[in-house]
Amino acid sequence: MLVAAALASACAGALGADALARAKQRGKLVAGIHYVVPEYKAGAKFRTPEALDTALLEDAARRLQLPLATVRAPSGKADITLAAFTENAPRRDGSTLIPTGYAAGPMAIMRTDTGIKAWEHLKSRKVCLSAGGRYVGMMEAKYGAIELVYAAPADALIALRTGLCDAAVHDNTLLEEIVKLPEWKKFSASLPTGPRSMLAFVMPASDTKTAAFLTQLASDWKADGYPDQLAKKAARNIAFEVYLDQDVPDCH
């Protein structure tokens, strides 16, 4: 992943050593992520974001007893950064990667009577995605699909159910849980999961104190199965949001 490699290089030369000391002095943990979830506004429909980045970072901030602020990575302003890397991603000099224990790949779901049987069949077909997902741009570039990008996964999945798109593409960890639900039986056709990427902290190798904290944090998450718990909870919440807000019948 060229973007991930560039991110690693940028983060390695970012703010220098001892990011946690800097965050504590500031009174706020600034974290870089792929997509900054828009701030919730009173009266709006709540939407569960696709990525687990923010939820994981909120736990990190709680442990540090600091409020969390997120910025788009790479920005040069982050104390710590979360990014997705292929498992064989090249390691750049001056950077350290600490896997969080979460990994996912692109998965597509469709109506069970679909004629789409391979990823290549998405050419010129409408594919629904969410703005916070990691596959925006990929479906068009790789398969020639027509991308319809929605604010959140619930909105993309409602569009699938009501016939506005031919397939929806999200993390396999999300969709594998959703298609287990009885109400998704008619939309449980799927394509094989694409290459998986791991979510990892990326930081300067010189910052050994922050690395020690994040390594212990990731170890705790893995021991508790915390990322998997978050993914399953997000899937249940998104399915419920679809159930509540789909205001027209399924397509027939």
Q: Residue 183 belongs to a domain with what CATH number?
A: 3.40.190.10
63 & 153 share domain: no
Write the pLDDT tens digit of every residue in 204-231: 889 999 999 999 999 999 999 999 999 9
129 & 8 share domain: no
Element containing residue 153 per DSSP (H, E): helix 153-161
Query: Does 155 have pLDDT greater than 90?
Result: yes
User: Which range is least confidently modeled, 7-21, 140-154, 199-213?
Assistant: 7-21
Confidence band, pLDDT 50/70/90 cuts, at residue 26? very high
Q: Is the pTM of this model over 0.95?
A: no
For residue 38, the model assigns a pLDDT of 85
User: Which range is least confidently modeled, 43-47, 124-128, 144-148, 159-163?
Assistant: 43-47
206 falls within a domain = yes
35 & 10 share domain: yes
Contact between residue 25 and residue 66 where contact means Cβ atoms under 8 Å apart: no
170 & 227 share domain: no
Percent of the chain with pLDDT over 70: 88
Selected residue with higher pLDDT from 13 and 36: 36
125 & 157 share domain: yes
* Domain endpoint, select from 194, 221, 242: 194
Report the alpha-carbon angle 133-175-102, nearest 5. Answer: 65
14 & 91 share domain: yes
Nearest in space to 108 (alpha carbons), one of 34, 187, 50, 185: 187
Number of structural domains found in the chain:
2
Q: How far apart are CA 121 and CA 98, in angstroms?
A: 36
112 & 189 share domain: yes
**Residue 163's domain spans which residues?**
106-194
92 falls within a domain = yes
Element containing residue 212 per DSSP (H, E): helix 208-224
Q: How far apart are CA 197 and CA 225, in angstroms?
A: 18
- Write down the residue that tokens 């991603």 correspond to: 89
Selected residue with higher pLDDT from 193 and 86: 193
Write the pLDDT tens digit of every residue in 230-241: 999 999 999 999
